[in-house]
């Protein structure tokens, strides 16, 4: 998968921006340790994963070294979204030794985080395999890495919920209260941005019926019991799509996978990730 394969807006620009910010906080006004190495020394290095994972982060690695040193070559052995085994070489770097070592941590930080996200997403996607359910992420992402993590979720085989507050309505309890009820909130949403998806989060069957009558496109069932969920599915059939949310972890997902729901969303895809353990090894006989 590449950024061009996704519908995530502004992803290419966000990659440039996030890499620029990451290099600025790490390198500052210069890598003083790299100055120990002769300026003209070249080297070759390998980046290896120490554990099984779904790889993600290629565009960020390329951007790190493009901004640092456009003459440095990145040689790829994997693609984004590829399952790789522990010990696998992910990519190699060939060029100026200072550039390799200066960009190492920045590049690996992106890869370990995004591969961690993609790996988590892959485990969730596997639990829903063979069903029509789409597993969605949320806005519970690392600040500044919204589109990056959304991309990683796609690489892991899950799907994106709305990107931000601008591309779809998600009317929750406080919006309902402030807008004067579900009917008012949905009606105003249709006026503010005609054609935009309107989703309403409900906490009871009564609110579900109100959302259906108001014409919501999607209804999110928040912390519904199994009995309430069955009733909701019966009421909503053919009238709105149903999304289940709230306390959805892998164990709960296994329980929900047999239901005839359209979407299951989980913040765990992006906020409970565990970074993948990576290592860069500079070949000792490649320097000159």
Catalytic center residues: 105, 140, 172, 201, 222
C-beta separation of 125 from 157 below 8 A: yes
Cα 157 to Cα 131, 144, 171, 222, 249, distances in angstroms: 13, 22, 27, 24, 16
197: CB partners within 8 A, 6+ apart? 162, 168, 169, 217, 218
C-beta separation of 93 from 127 below 8 A: no
Residue 172 has a CB neighbour count (10 Å cut-off) of: 15
Alpha carbons 185 and 146: distance in angstroms, whole number: 27
């Amino acid at each position: 998968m590449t950024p061009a394969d996704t519908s995530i807006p502004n992803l290419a620009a966000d990659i440039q921006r996030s890499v620029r910010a990451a290099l600025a906080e790490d390198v500052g006004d210069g890598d003083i340790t790299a100055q120990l190495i002769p300026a003209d020394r070249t080297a070759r290095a390998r980046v290896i994963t120490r554990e099984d994972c779904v790889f993600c982060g290629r565009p960020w690695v390329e951007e790190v070294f493009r901004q640092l040193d456009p003459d440095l070559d990145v040689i790829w052995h994997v693609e984004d979204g590829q399952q790789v085994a522990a010990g696998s070489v992910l990519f190699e770097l060939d060029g100026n030794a200072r550039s390799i070592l200066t960009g190492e941590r920045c590049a690996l930080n992106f890869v370990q985080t995004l591969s961690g996200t993609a790996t988590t997403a892959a485990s969730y996607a596997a639990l829903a395999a063979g069903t029509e359910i789409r597993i969605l992420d949320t806005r519970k992402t690392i600040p500044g890495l919204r589109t990056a993590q959304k991309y990683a979720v796609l690489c892991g085989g899950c799907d994106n919920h709305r990107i931000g507050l601008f591309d779809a309505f998600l009317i929750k309890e406080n919006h309902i209260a402030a807008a004067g009820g579900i009917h008012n909130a949905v009606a105003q949403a249709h006026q503010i941005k005609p054609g935009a998806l309107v989703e309403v989060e409900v906490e009871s069957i009564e609110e579900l019926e109100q959302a259906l009558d108001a014409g919501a496109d999607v209804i999110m069932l928040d912390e519904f019991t199994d009995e309430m969920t069955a009733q909701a599915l019966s009421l909503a059939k053919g009238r709105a799509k149903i999304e289940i949310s709230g306390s959805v972890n892998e164990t709960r997902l296994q329980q929900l996978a047999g239901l005839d729901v359209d979407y299951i969303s989980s913040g765990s895809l992006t906020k409970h990730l565990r970074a993948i353990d990576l290592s860069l090894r500079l070949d000792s006989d490649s320097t000159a």
